[in-house]
Amino acid sequence: QSGKLSIDPAFVVAPVNRRVFGSFVEHMGRCVYGGLYEPGHPTADEDGLRGDVMELVREMGVTAVRYPGGNFVSGYRWEDGVGPVEDRPTRLDPAWKTIETNAFGLNEFMRWARKADIEPVMAVNLGTRGIAEAVELLEYANHPKGTALSDLRVEHGAPEPHAIRTWCLGNEMDGPWQLGHKTAEEYGRLAAETARAMRQVEPDLELVACGSSGRAMATFGAWEDTVLEHTYELVDHVSAHAYYELDGDDRASFLASSVDMDKFIREVVATADAVGARLKSSKKIMISFDEWNVWYNKALTESGLPTDWTQAPRLSEDAYTVLDAVVVGSLLITLLQHSDRVAIACQAQLVNTIAPIRSEPDGPAWRQSIFHPFALTARHARGQVLDLRVDAPTLTTAKHGEVAVLDAVATHDAETGQLTVFVVNRDPAEAVAFATDLRGFGAATLTEAVLLADDDLFAANTMDEPDRVAPRPHTSAAVDGTTLRAELPPASWSMFRLQ
Ligand code: AHR
Protein backbone atom coordinates (compact mmCIF):
# COMPACT_ATOMS: atom_id res chain seq x y z
CA GLN A 1 0.00 0.00 0.00
CA SER A 2 1.07 3.59 -0.52
CA GLY A 3 0.40 6.99 1.05
CA LYS A 4 1.10 10.60 0.21
CA LEU A 5 1.47 13.93 2.03
CA SER A 6 0.84 17.35 0.52
CA ILE A 7 2.74 20.15 2.22
CA ASP A 8 3.00 23.83 1.38
CA PRO A 9 5.00 26.40 3.36
CA ALA A 10 2.16 28.92 2.94
CA PHE A 11 -0.38 26.85 4.89
CA VAL A 12 0.48 27.54 8.49
CA VAL A 13 -1.41 26.36 11.60
CA ALA A 14 0.52 28.31 14.26
CA PRO A 15 4.02 28.57 15.70
CA VAL A 16 5.30 25.53 17.61
CA ASN A 17 4.49 26.20 21.26
CA ARG A 18 7.64 25.22 23.12
CA ARG A 19 5.60 24.34 26.21
CA VAL A 20 4.02 21.45 24.32
CA PHE A 21 7.22 19.62 25.26
CA GLY A 22 6.34 19.77 28.93
CA SER A 23 6.39 17.01 31.51
CA PHE A 24 4.95 16.30 34.93
CA VAL A 25 6.56 15.60 38.29
CA GLU A 26 4.19 14.31 40.96
CA HIS A 27 4.91 13.07 44.45
CA MET A 28 3.88 9.62 43.27
CA GLY A 29 5.93 6.46 43.57
CA ARG A 30 9.60 7.19 42.90
CA CYS A 31 9.22 10.17 40.59
CA VAL A 32 10.59 12.63 43.16
CA TYR A 33 12.27 10.42 45.77
CA GLY A 34 14.77 8.18 43.94
CA GLY A 35 13.98 9.99 40.68
CA LEU A 36 14.86 13.69 40.68
CA TYR A 37 16.11 13.59 44.24
CA GLU A 38 18.41 11.03 45.84
CA PRO A 39 20.94 12.50 48.27
CA GLY A 40 23.89 10.14 48.51
CA HIS A 41 23.56 8.91 44.93
CA PRO A 42 27.01 8.99 43.26
CA THR A 43 25.79 11.63 40.78
CA ALA A 44 23.83 13.74 43.31
CA ASP A 45 24.82 17.40 43.67
CA GLU A 46 24.96 19.51 46.85
CA ASP A 47 21.12 19.71 46.80
CA GLY A 48 20.68 15.93 46.50
CA LEU A 49 19.55 16.23 42.88
CA ARG A 50 20.58 13.31 40.68
CA GLY A 51 22.95 14.49 37.96
CA ASP A 52 22.39 11.49 35.69
CA VAL A 53 18.62 12.07 35.69
CA MET A 54 19.07 15.82 35.14
CA GLU A 55 21.31 15.13 32.13
CA LEU A 56 18.65 12.90 30.56
CA VAL A 57 15.94 15.49 31.25
CA ARG A 58 18.02 18.07 29.38
CA GLU A 59 18.70 15.66 26.53
CA MET A 60 14.98 14.94 26.29
CA GLY A 61 14.35 18.65 25.71
CA VAL A 62 11.70 19.08 28.41
CA THR A 63 10.64 22.74 28.51
CA ALA A 64 8.09 23.00 31.34
CA VAL A 65 7.18 20.80 34.30
CA ARG A 66 3.90 20.64 36.20
CA TYR A 67 4.31 20.04 39.94
CA PRO A 68 3.51 18.66 42.62
CA GLY A 69 0.46 16.68 41.39
CA GLY A 70 -1.77 15.09 40.26
CA ASN A 71 -3.99 13.43 42.78
CA PHE A 72 -1.31 14.16 45.38
CA VAL A 73 -1.89 17.92 45.27
CA SER A 74 -5.52 17.58 46.32
CA GLY A 75 -4.47 16.64 49.87
CA TYR A 76 -1.19 18.59 50.00
CA ARG A 77 -0.23 21.30 52.46
CA TRP A 78 2.50 23.27 50.68
CA GLU A 79 3.74 24.68 54.02
CA ASP A 80 4.84 21.15 55.02
CA GLY A 81 7.44 21.17 52.25
CA VAL A 82 9.30 24.40 53.10
CA GLY A 83 11.72 25.46 55.87
CA PRO A 84 14.39 23.44 57.66
CA VAL A 85 14.06 19.81 56.54
CA GLU A 86 14.42 18.47 60.09
CA ASP A 87 11.32 20.46 61.13
CA ARG A 88 9.12 19.26 58.29
CA PRO A 89 6.27 16.91 59.24
CA THR A 90 5.93 13.39 57.91
CA ARG A 91 2.37 12.84 56.71
CA LEU A 92 0.10 10.33 55.05
CA ASP A 93 -0.62 10.88 51.38
CA PRO A 94 -4.02 9.21 50.94
CA ALA A 95 -3.98 9.59 47.13
CA TRP A 96 -1.15 7.08 46.68
CA LYS A 97 -1.20 5.37 50.11
CA THR A 98 2.28 6.68 50.73
CA ILE A 99 4.25 8.18 53.60
CA GLU A 100 5.40 11.65 52.58
CA THR A 101 8.48 12.88 54.43
CA ASN A 102 8.30 16.35 52.86
CA ALA A 103 12.09 16.34 52.42
CA PHE A 104 11.41 17.72 48.93
CA GLY A 105 9.09 20.68 48.46
CA LEU A 106 8.61 23.94 46.60
CA ASN A 107 12.11 25.41 47.06
CA GLU A 108 13.84 22.12 46.19
CA PHE A 109 11.68 21.81 43.09
CA MET A 110 12.47 25.37 42.02
CA ARG A 111 16.19 24.74 42.53
CA TRP A 112 15.89 21.65 40.33
CA ALA A 113 13.85 23.53 37.70
CA ARG A 114 16.40 26.32 37.50
CA LYS A 115 19.28 23.88 37.12
CA ALA A 116 17.39 21.90 34.48
CA ASP A 117 16.37 25.15 32.72
CA ILE A 118 12.70 24.31 32.99
CA GLU A 119 9.65 26.55 33.37
CA PRO A 120 7.53 25.54 36.38
CA VAL A 121 3.77 24.99 36.12
CA MET A 122 2.53 24.96 39.70
CA ALA A 123 -0.70 23.35 40.90
CA VAL A 124 -2.64 24.55 43.96
CA ASN A 125 -4.79 22.34 46.16
CA LEU A 126 -8.48 23.01 45.53
CA GLY A 127 -9.50 19.60 46.90
CA THR A 128 -9.07 19.85 50.65
CA ARG A 129 -8.05 23.52 50.64
CA GLY A 130 -9.14 26.75 49.01
CA ILE A 131 -8.67 30.41 48.14
CA ALA A 132 -6.67 31.48 51.19
CA GLU A 133 -4.02 28.76 50.86
CA ALA A 134 -3.64 29.37 47.12
CA VAL A 135 -3.09 33.10 47.66
CA GLU A 136 -0.68 32.42 50.52
CA LEU A 137 1.34 30.05 48.36
CA LEU A 138 1.46 32.69 45.62
CA GLU A 139 2.69 35.31 48.10
CA TYR A 140 5.33 32.93 49.47
CA ALA A 141 6.54 31.95 46.00
CA ASN A 142 6.38 35.19 44.03
CA HIS A 143 6.28 38.27 46.25
CA PRO A 144 9.76 39.88 46.40
CA LYS A 145 9.99 40.55 50.17
CA GLY A 146 8.67 42.58 53.08
CA THR A 147 5.62 40.47 53.99
CA ALA A 148 5.39 37.60 56.44
CA LEU A 149 5.27 34.90 53.77
CA SER A 150 7.76 36.37 51.31
CA ASP A 151 10.22 37.01 54.15
CA LEU A 152 9.74 33.41 55.22
CA ARG A 153 10.83 32.27 51.76
CA VAL A 154 13.92 34.49 52.03
CA GLU A 155 14.61 32.99 55.46
CA HIS A 156 14.23 29.54 53.86
CA GLY A 157 17.16 30.27 51.58
CA ALA A 158 15.38 31.55 48.47
CA PRO A 159 16.12 35.31 48.39
CA GLU A 160 14.82 35.83 44.86
CA PRO A 161 11.11 35.46 44.10
CA HIS A 162 10.41 32.29 42.14
CA ALA A 163 8.38 34.23 39.52
CA ILE A 164 6.08 31.30 38.76
CA ARG A 165 3.84 32.43 35.95
CA THR A 166 1.55 29.47 35.25
CA TRP A 167 -0.75 27.95 37.88
CA CYS A 168 -3.24 25.07 37.73
CA LEU A 169 -6.38 25.62 39.77
CA GLY A 170 -6.57 22.15 41.32
CA ASN A 171 -6.34 18.75 39.67
CA GLU A 172 -9.01 16.50 38.09
CA MET A 173 -11.74 17.91 40.28
CA ASP A 174 -14.33 16.06 38.16
CA GLY A 175 -13.01 12.67 39.30
CA PRO A 176 -14.80 10.88 42.17
CA TRP A 177 -11.37 9.48 43.17
CA GLN A 178 -10.08 12.98 43.82
CA LEU A 179 -9.75 14.18 47.42
CA GLY A 180 -12.34 16.92 47.70
CA HIS A 181 -14.05 15.95 44.40
CA LYS A 182 -16.60 18.56 43.36
CA THR A 183 -19.53 19.06 41.04
CA ALA A 184 -18.90 21.33 38.05
CA GLU A 185 -20.94 24.06 39.72
CA GLU A 186 -19.00 23.81 43.01
CA TYR A 187 -15.63 23.70 41.26
CA GLY A 188 -16.50 26.41 38.73
CA ARG A 189 -17.33 28.86 41.54
CA LEU A 190 -14.24 27.94 43.58
CA ALA A 191 -11.93 28.14 40.56
CA ALA A 192 -13.38 31.53 39.60
CA GLU A 193 -12.96 33.00 43.07
CA THR A 194 -9.46 31.53 43.45
CA ALA A 195 -8.48 32.96 40.07
CA ARG A 196 -9.91 36.36 41.00
CA ALA A 197 -8.03 36.41 44.30
CA MET A 198 -4.75 35.26 42.73
CA ARG A 199 -5.06 37.94 40.05
CA GLN A 200 -5.59 40.57 42.75
CA VAL A 201 -2.11 39.65 43.98
CA GLU A 202 -0.61 39.27 40.49
CA PRO A 203 -2.73 40.20 37.47
CA ASP A 204 -0.49 38.69 34.81
CA LEU A 205 -0.59 35.05 35.86
CA GLU A 206 -1.54 32.34 33.39
CA LEU A 207 -4.25 30.23 34.99
CA VAL A 208 -5.49 26.76 34.09
CA ALA A 209 -8.98 25.58 35.04
CA CYS A 210 -9.56 21.84 35.42
CA GLY A 211 -11.27 20.30 32.45
CA SER A 212 -12.21 16.64 32.32
CA SER A 213 -9.84 13.95 33.51
CA GLY A 214 -10.74 11.93 30.44
CA ARG A 215 -12.96 12.02 27.38
CA ALA A 216 -14.83 8.97 28.67
CA MET A 217 -16.01 10.73 31.85
CA ALA A 218 -19.81 10.80 32.06
CA THR A 219 -19.63 14.55 32.76
CA PHE A 220 -17.28 15.34 29.83
CA GLY A 221 -18.53 18.36 27.88
CA ALA A 222 -21.07 19.45 30.46
CA TRP A 223 -18.18 19.85 32.93
CA GLU A 224 -16.19 22.15 30.63
CA ASP A 225 -19.33 24.10 29.78
CA THR A 226 -20.23 24.85 33.41
CA VAL A 227 -16.68 25.43 34.62
CA LEU A 228 -15.91 27.84 31.77
CA GLU A 229 -19.23 29.63 32.23
CA HIS A 230 -17.91 30.61 35.67
CA THR A 231 -14.24 31.15 34.79
CA TYR A 232 -14.12 32.25 31.15
CA GLU A 233 -12.73 35.75 31.65
CA LEU A 234 -10.57 34.72 34.61
CA VAL A 235 -8.51 31.85 33.20
CA ASP A 236 -6.36 31.30 30.11
CA HIS A 237 -6.48 27.54 29.68
CA VAL A 238 -8.67 24.55 30.37
CA SER A 239 -6.92 21.25 31.08
CA ALA A 240 -7.33 17.87 29.38
CA HIS A 241 -5.89 14.52 30.49
CA ALA A 242 -5.64 11.29 28.48
CA TYR A 243 -3.85 7.99 28.97
CA TYR A 244 -3.83 5.08 26.53
CA GLU A 245 -2.83 1.44 26.82
CA LEU A 246 -2.81 -1.74 24.77
CA ASP A 247 -5.99 -3.64 25.47
CA GLY A 248 -5.43 -7.41 25.08
CA ASP A 249 -3.74 -7.69 21.70
CA ASP A 250 -5.77 -5.00 19.92
CA ARG A 251 -2.73 -3.34 18.36
CA ALA A 252 -4.70 -1.52 15.65
CA SER A 253 -6.85 0.38 18.18
CA PHE A 254 -3.85 1.14 20.37
CA LEU A 255 -1.82 2.45 17.43
CA ALA A 256 -4.77 4.70 16.56
CA SER A 257 -5.04 6.20 20.09
CA SER A 258 -4.28 9.64 18.65
CA VAL A 259 -7.66 9.55 16.90
CA ASP A 260 -9.23 9.73 20.35
CA MET A 261 -6.88 12.50 21.45
CA ASP A 262 -7.68 14.45 18.29
CA LYS A 263 -11.44 14.18 18.93
CA PHE A 264 -10.92 15.14 22.56
CA ILE A 265 -9.09 18.34 21.56
CA ARG A 266 -11.69 19.25 18.92
CA GLU A 267 -14.55 18.68 21.38
CA VAL A 268 -12.95 20.78 24.14
CA VAL A 269 -12.28 23.57 21.64
CA ALA A 270 -15.89 23.40 20.40
CA THR A 271 -17.25 23.53 23.95
CA ALA A 272 -14.97 26.38 25.01
CA ASP A 273 -15.82 28.38 21.87
CA ALA A 274 -19.55 27.80 22.44
CA VAL A 275 -19.22 29.23 25.95
CA GLY A 276 -17.25 32.17 24.53
CA ALA A 277 -19.96 32.82 21.93
CA ARG A 278 -22.68 32.67 24.60
CA LEU A 279 -20.75 35.15 26.73
CA LYS A 280 -20.09 37.36 23.70
CA SER A 281 -16.38 37.20 24.44
CA SER A 282 -13.66 37.69 21.86
CA LYS A 283 -11.22 35.77 24.04
CA LYS A 284 -10.14 32.23 23.08
CA ILE A 285 -9.48 29.67 25.79
CA MET A 286 -6.46 27.46 25.09
CA ILE A 287 -5.92 23.85 26.13
CA SER A 288 -3.33 22.75 28.64
CA PHE A 289 -3.06 19.02 27.87
CA ASP A 290 -1.26 18.67 31.15
CA GLU A 291 -1.35 14.88 31.54
CA TRP A 292 -0.94 12.52 28.60
CA ASN A 293 0.96 9.31 27.95
CA VAL A 294 0.76 5.57 27.51
CA TRP A 295 -0.05 4.21 30.98
CA TYR A 296 -0.66 0.56 31.94
CA ASN A 297 -3.20 1.82 34.42
CA LYS A 298 -5.32 -1.36 34.43
CA ALA A 299 -2.38 -3.22 35.97
CA LEU A 300 -2.23 -0.64 38.78
CA THR A 301 -6.00 -0.75 39.29
CA GLU A 302 -6.02 -4.54 39.38
CA SER A 303 -3.06 -4.90 41.74
CA GLY A 304 -4.28 -1.94 43.81
CA LEU A 305 -2.22 0.47 45.84
CA PRO A 306 0.23 -1.01 48.40
CA THR A 307 -1.49 -2.49 51.45
CA ASP A 308 1.07 -0.95 53.83
CA TRP A 309 2.02 2.69 54.19
CA THR A 310 5.60 3.06 52.90
CA GLN A 311 7.84 5.81 51.53
CA ALA A 312 8.24 6.13 47.76
CA PRO A 313 6.85 2.71 46.78
CA ARG A 314 7.37 1.45 43.22
CA LEU A 315 4.17 2.52 41.43
CA SER A 316 3.44 2.20 37.71
CA GLU A 317 7.07 1.70 36.70
CA ASP A 318 5.88 0.62 33.27
CA ALA A 319 8.58 -0.83 30.98
CA TYR A 320 7.78 0.74 27.62
CA THR A 321 7.93 -1.15 24.35
CA VAL A 322 8.52 -0.23 20.72
CA LEU A 323 4.74 -0.20 20.21
CA ASP A 324 4.32 2.25 23.11
CA ALA A 325 7.00 4.52 21.63
CA VAL A 326 5.21 4.61 18.26
CA VAL A 327 2.00 5.62 20.05
CA VAL A 328 3.80 8.34 22.02
CA GLY A 329 5.30 9.68 18.78
CA SER A 330 1.86 9.75 17.21
CA LEU A 331 0.29 11.54 20.21
CA LEU A 332 2.96 14.23 19.84
CA ILE A 333 2.01 14.57 16.16
CA THR A 334 -1.60 15.21 17.24
CA LEU A 335 -0.61 17.76 19.88
CA LEU A 336 1.46 19.66 17.32
CA GLN A 337 -1.32 19.54 14.71
CA HIS A 338 -3.43 21.51 17.19
CA SER A 339 -0.79 24.15 17.96
CA ASP A 340 -3.37 26.88 17.39
CA ARG A 341 -5.27 25.72 20.50
CA VAL A 342 -2.95 23.49 22.56
CA ALA A 343 -0.64 25.88 24.37
CA ILE A 344 0.83 23.54 26.97
CA ALA A 345 1.18 19.76 27.14
CA CYS A 346 2.81 17.68 29.87
CA GLN A 347 3.76 14.08 29.38
CA ALA A 348 2.92 12.28 32.62
CA GLN A 349 5.23 11.65 34.29
CA LEU A 350 8.99 12.34 34.05
CA VAL A 351 10.97 9.78 36.05
CA ASN A 352 10.18 6.19 37.12
CA THR A 353 6.39 6.57 37.48
CA ILE A 354 4.72 6.27 34.03
CA ALA A 355 7.96 7.72 32.72
CA PRO A 356 10.37 8.06 29.80
CA ILE A 357 13.32 8.07 32.21
CA ARG A 358 14.02 5.23 34.68
CA SER A 359 16.47 5.24 37.55
CA GLU A 360 17.51 2.75 40.21
CA PRO A 361 18.54 3.61 43.78
CA ASP A 362 22.32 3.95 43.90
CA GLY A 363 22.29 2.66 40.33
CA PRO A 364 22.02 3.96 36.78
CA ALA A 365 19.41 6.01 34.95
CA TRP A 366 18.32 5.11 31.42
CA ARG A 367 16.09 6.11 28.53
CA GLN A 368 12.91 4.13 27.98
CA SER A 369 11.68 3.58 24.41
CA ILE A 370 9.20 6.48 24.70
CA PHE A 371 12.05 8.89 25.50
CA HIS A 372 13.17 8.87 21.87
CA PRO A 373 10.19 10.21 19.90
CA PHE A 374 9.75 12.90 22.57
CA ALA A 375 13.41 13.97 22.45
CA LEU A 376 13.54 14.04 18.65
CA THR A 377 10.28 15.96 18.32
CA ALA A 378 11.26 18.48 21.00
CA ARG A 379 14.63 19.02 19.31
CA HIS A 380 13.52 19.28 15.71
CA ALA A 381 9.93 20.63 15.64
CA ARG A 382 10.85 24.29 15.05
CA GLY A 383 9.23 27.37 13.59
CA GLN A 384 5.68 27.05 12.27
CA VAL A 385 3.43 23.99 12.23
CA LEU A 386 2.15 23.39 8.68
CA ASP A 387 -1.34 22.33 7.76
CA LEU A 388 -0.71 19.29 5.58
CA ARG A 389 -2.97 16.76 3.86
CA VAL A 390 -2.60 13.00 4.20
CA ASP A 391 -3.83 10.61 1.52
CA ALA A 392 -3.53 7.07 2.82
CA PRO A 393 -5.43 3.80 2.88
CA THR A 394 -7.68 3.19 5.86
CA LEU A 395 -7.93 0.40 8.38
CA THR A 396 -10.85 -0.61 10.59
CA THR A 397 -10.22 -0.53 14.32
CA ALA A 398 -12.44 -1.88 17.09
CA LYS A 399 -12.25 1.29 19.19
CA HIS A 400 -11.92 4.13 16.69
CA GLY A 401 -13.69 2.87 13.56
CA GLU A 402 -12.03 3.50 10.22
CA VAL A 403 -8.74 5.39 10.47
CA ALA A 404 -6.10 6.46 7.95
CA VAL A 405 -3.01 4.30 8.39
CA LEU A 406 -0.75 7.36 8.15
CA ASP A 407 -0.76 10.43 10.31
CA ALA A 408 1.77 13.26 10.03
CA VAL A 409 2.79 16.76 10.95
CA ALA A 410 5.43 19.07 9.49
CA THR A 411 7.20 22.08 10.92
CA HIS A 412 9.01 24.73 8.92
CA ASP A 413 11.52 27.23 10.24
CA ALA A 414 11.64 30.01 7.65
CA GLU A 415 14.78 31.48 9.24
CA THR A 416 16.93 28.36 9.00
CA GLY A 417 15.01 26.81 6.12
CA GLN A 418 14.60 23.58 8.07
CA LEU A 419 11.58 21.45 7.23
CA THR A 420 10.88 18.50 9.53
CA VAL A 421 8.25 15.87 8.80
CA PHE A 422 7.04 13.42 11.47
CA VAL A 423 5.03 10.44 10.20
CA VAL A 424 3.48 7.44 11.88
CA ASN A 425 2.36 4.25 10.17
CA ARG A 426 -0.48 3.01 12.37
CA ASP A 427 -0.98 -0.21 10.45
CA PRO A 428 0.18 -3.02 12.75
CA ALA A 429 0.81 -5.44 9.88
CA GLU A 430 1.58 -3.67 6.60
CA ALA A 431 4.29 -1.35 5.38
CA VAL A 432 3.44 1.83 3.46
CA ALA A 433 5.37 3.27 0.50
CA PHE A 434 5.31 6.94 1.38
CA ALA A 435 5.90 10.02 -0.80
CA THR A 436 5.82 13.79 -0.24
CA ASP A 437 6.02 16.43 -2.93
CA LEU A 438 8.50 19.09 -1.84
CA ARG A 439 8.13 21.49 -4.76
CA GLY A 440 6.90 24.31 -2.52
CA PHE A 441 10.22 24.29 -0.67
CA GLY A 442 12.59 24.65 -3.64
CA ALA A 443 15.49 22.22 -3.91
CA ALA A 444 15.40 20.31 -0.61
CA THR A 445 18.14 18.03 0.65
CA LEU A 446 17.51 15.26 3.15
CA THR A 447 19.79 15.97 6.11
CA GLU A 448 18.54 13.29 8.49
CA ALA A 449 16.03 10.44 8.39
CA VAL A 450 15.30 8.45 11.53
CA LEU A 451 13.12 5.40 12.06
CA LEU A 452 11.65 3.88 15.20
CA ALA A 453 10.46 0.36 14.35
CA ASP A 454 11.40 -3.19 15.26
CA ASP A 455 10.63 -6.77 14.29
CA ASP A 456 9.85 -7.28 17.96
CA LEU A 457 7.19 -4.70 18.84
CA PHE A 458 7.43 -5.68 22.49
CA ALA A 459 11.16 -5.10 22.88
CA ALA A 460 11.93 -2.68 25.75
CA ASN A 461 14.96 -1.04 27.34
CA THR A 462 16.12 -2.36 30.69
CA MET A 463 18.86 -1.49 33.17
CA ASP A 464 21.01 -4.25 31.63
CA GLU A 465 20.15 -3.44 28.04
CA PRO A 466 19.38 0.31 28.12
CA ASP A 467 19.75 0.87 24.36
CA ARG A 468 17.84 -2.14 23.05
CA VAL A 469 15.20 0.23 21.59
CA ALA A 470 16.56 3.33 19.91
CA PRO A 471 15.94 5.23 16.69
CA ARG A 472 18.10 4.20 13.75
CA PRO A 473 18.83 5.67 10.33
CA HIS A 474 15.97 5.34 7.86
CA THR A 475 17.89 3.55 5.14
CA SER A 476 15.07 3.56 2.59
CA ALA A 477 14.55 7.35 2.71
CA ALA A 478 15.72 9.50 -0.21
CA VAL A 479 14.82 12.66 -2.09
CA ASP A 480 14.29 11.93 -5.73
CA GLY A 481 13.90 15.17 -7.72
CA THR A 482 11.45 17.09 -5.52
CA THR A 483 9.87 14.03 -3.91
CA LEU A 484 10.76 12.56 -0.56
CA ARG A 485 10.19 8.80 -0.55
CA ALA A 486 10.53 6.16 2.14
CA GLU A 487 9.25 2.74 3.04
CA LEU A 488 7.43 2.97 6.39
CA PRO A 489 7.44 -0.40 8.18
CA PRO A 490 4.30 -1.53 10.03
CA ALA A 491 3.81 0.15 13.44
CA SER A 492 6.58 2.69 12.93
CA TRP A 493 7.41 6.32 13.65
CA SER A 494 9.70 8.33 11.35
CA MET A 495 11.30 11.74 11.27
CA PHE A 496 12.69 13.37 8.12
CA ARG A 497 14.73 16.56 8.22
CA LEU A 498 15.21 18.57 5.07
CA GLN A 499 17.03 21.77 4.30
O1 AHR B 1 -0.35 10.78 36.56
C2 AHR B 1 -0.99 9.90 37.43
C3 AHR B 1 -2.35 10.37 37.89
O4 AHR B 1 -3.24 10.35 36.81
C5 AHR B 1 -2.44 11.79 38.40
O6 AHR B 1 -2.11 11.89 39.74
C7 AHR B 1 -3.88 12.12 38.19
O8 AHR B 1 -4.09 13.50 37.99
C9 AHR B 1 -4.30 11.27 37.02
O10 AHR B 1 -5.46 10.59 37.25
Residues 9, 4: Cα–Cα separation, whole Å: 17
> Which residues form the domain of 169?
17-382
Q: Is 75 in the pocket of ligand 1 (CB under 6 A)?
A: no
pLDDT tens, 181-218? 999 999 999 999 999 999 999 999 999 999 999 999 99
Q: Which helix (H) or strand (E) holds 288?
A: strand 286-294
pTM of the entire predicted model? 0.98
| Dist. CA 13–CA 71, nearest whole Å | 34
Query: Which residues of the chain fall below pLDDT 70?
Result: none
Ligand 1 close to Cβ of residue 26 (< 6 A): yes
Q: Is the CB of 291 under 6 A from ligand 1?
A: yes
User: Is there a single domain that holds both residue 345 and residue 448?
Assistant: no
- Do 494 and 450 meet the contact criterion of CB atoms below 8 Å apart? yes
pLDDT of residue 17: 98
Q: Ligand 1 centroid to 370 CA: how many Å?
A: 18
Do 258 and 404 fall within a single domain?
no
Residue nearest to atom 4 of ligand 1 (CA): 70
**Gap between the Cα atoms of 267 and 323, Å rounded:** 27
Ligand 1 atom nearest to CA at 171: 8
Res 443: pLDDT: 76
Name the active-site residue from 172, 229, 233, 415: 172
Domain identity same for 118 and 255: yes
Q: What is the spatial distance between Cα 297 and Cα 303, in angstroms, rounded to a whole number?
A: 10
Answer yes or no: do 247 and 127 share one domain.
yes
Ligand 1 atom at minimum distance from 349 CA: 1
Cα distances from 162 to residues 114, 192, 209, 398, in angstroms, run 10, 24, 22, 48
Kindly provide the ipTM of the predicted complex, given to two decimals: 0.99
- Give how far Cα 163 sits from Cα of 119, 237, 262, 463, Å: 10, 19, 33, 38
CA-closest residue to ligand 1 atom 3: 70
- DSSP output for 117-174: T-EEEEEE--SS--HHHHHHHHHHHH--SSSHHHHHHHHTT--S-----EEEESS-TT
Q: Are residues 77 and 219 in the same domain?
A: yes
- Ligand 1 centroid–CA 447 distance in Å is 39
Alpha carbon distance 445, 231 (integer Å): 49
Q: Is 100 a catalytic residue?
A: no
pLDDT at position 304, please?
86
- State how far the Cα of 76 lies from the Cα of 92, in Å rounded to an integer: 10
**Ligand 1 center–CA 292 separation, angstroms:** 9
Domain total in the chain: 2
Question: Do 249 and 314 belong to one domain?
Answer: yes
* CATH code for the domain in which residue 279 is found: 3.20.20.80
At 35-64, the pLDDT tens digits run 999 999 999 999 999 999 999 999 999 999
CA of 274 to the centre of ligand 1 (A): 28
Q: What is the mean pLDDT of the chain?
A: 97
Q: How far is CA 115 from CA 54, 55, 58, 112, 477, in A?
A: 8, 10, 10, 5, 38
Do 120 and 226 belong to one domain?
yes
- Domain boundary at 365, 382, 399, which? 382
Chain centroid, CA 110 distance in Å: 19
Provide the CATH number for the domain around residue 430.
Answer: 2.60.40.1180
- Report the alpha-carbon distance of residue 383 to residue 411 in Å, rounded: 6
Report whether 479 contacts 444 (CB < 8 A). Answer: yes
Residue 303: per-residue pLDDT: 87
> Are 432 and 364 within one domain?
no
The values of phi and psi at residue 130, to 5°, are -155, -145
Q: How far is CA 482 from CA 396, 414, 439, in A?
A: 33, 18, 6
Active site residue 172: yes
Q: State whether 410 and 435 are in the same domain.
A: yes
Same domain, 415 and 323: no
